[in-house]
Each structure stands twice: as C-alpha cells, then as structure tokens.
Structure 1
Amino acid sequence: MNIKQIAMRLTVAGAVLGLSACANMSAQDRNTAIGAGVGAVAGSALSGGSALGTVGGAAVGGVIGNQVSKPTR
C-alpha cells in the first residue's frame, strides 16, 4: 500500500467520523453518510485505491445506508 492509498483511507475515515457526529441529522441521514464512508473504504480496498472504485463504493454504500433506515409507511 502506498502513501496515496493511506491518505485516501484516512481522509474517508475522518469524513465518516465527522459526519456521524452531527447531532441534528436524522437516523436516515446518518446511515447514508456512514454507508457512503464504509462503501468508499471498501471500494478503495477492492479496487487497489482507484478513484473510480472509491467513488463507486461511496455511491453504493450511501444508497444502501439510506434504504436500510427508510421509514415504512
């Protein structure tokens, strides 16, 4: 793992921790942010640190996090 990959993972982890600490976020918003962060890290790890893998992972993770806590009607 090179320094660029380490920096990317630390940045994403910091963003996830920062967003998850927001007190005025709804549960769905919080889960969306956490899902995007986890997805970005997973996408980066699976793609060898490529930007496309990281962004794709963030998008998929965000959608999953959003849908997991979606209110039922």
Structure 2
Amino acid sequence: MKKILAIGFMSVSLAACTATERGAGIGAVGGAVVGGAVSGDVRGAAVGAAVGGVGGALIGSVQDQPGRCYYRDRYGNRYIDECR
C-alpha cells in the first residue's frame, strides 16, 4: 500500500513540471530501480538514478521542441537542428 501511495504522490508532483523535469524524474526513478535490482546495493541504485536522470532530462528536453533533434558535428560539438 505504501508503494502505491508513493507512486501516486510522485505522479501528482510531476504534473506541474516541464517535459525536461518530468523526463529527469522518471529516468532517475527508473534508473534507481534497475540499478538497485541489478547490483543489490545502494551504490548501484545511486548510479542508476544519476544515469537515468541525465538520460531522462535529455529525452525530455527534446520533447519541448517538436521537430528538433540533437546532432553532433565532426568535432564532437552538439547542436540542435530540424529532424531529418
């Protein structure tokens, strides 16, 4: 029952966030669950939360810009342009 309430409160709190913030939150929670399950300790959950949060934020930031994608040039610099 506590898990259901926690998930409910988290989903309500994410309702007022931007797509980037929602992506980071969902990615961090998912990464923590997977990291904790795979490693079986808190450090694995923390690493999973960090990686999932960054990945979720990157995915969420693209949602704020429909029709825009991230690319890298030959020097490794990241830029945003129309999706091809």
Q: TM-score, normalised by structure 1?
A: 0.68
1:70 to 61, 64, 69: 61
Paired residues of 2:22 and 2:60 also in contact (CA < 8 A): no
Task: Tell me which amino acid in the other structure corresponds to 2:16.
Answer: N
1:60 corresponds in structure 2 to 51
Q: After the TM superposition, which parts of structure 1 deviate over 3 Å for at least 4 consecutive aligned residues? A: none
Structure 1 regions of 5+ residues with no counterpart?
A: 1-9
Structure 2: where are the runs of 5+ without partners? 63-67, 69-79
Q: CA RMSD in A?
A: 1.8
Higher relative contact order (CA 8 A, sep 6+): 1
Matches of 2:54 and 2:8, distance apart in 1: 18
Aligned residue among 12, 25, 34 for 2:26 = 34
Residue type of the alignment partner of 1:43: G
* TM-score (ref. length: structure 2): 0.60
Q: How many residues get paired?
A: 59
Report the secondary structure of 1:69's partner residue.
helix
Calculate percent identity across the aligned residue pairs: 39
Structure with greater strand percent = 2
Quick check: which has more Rg, 1 or 2? Answer: 2
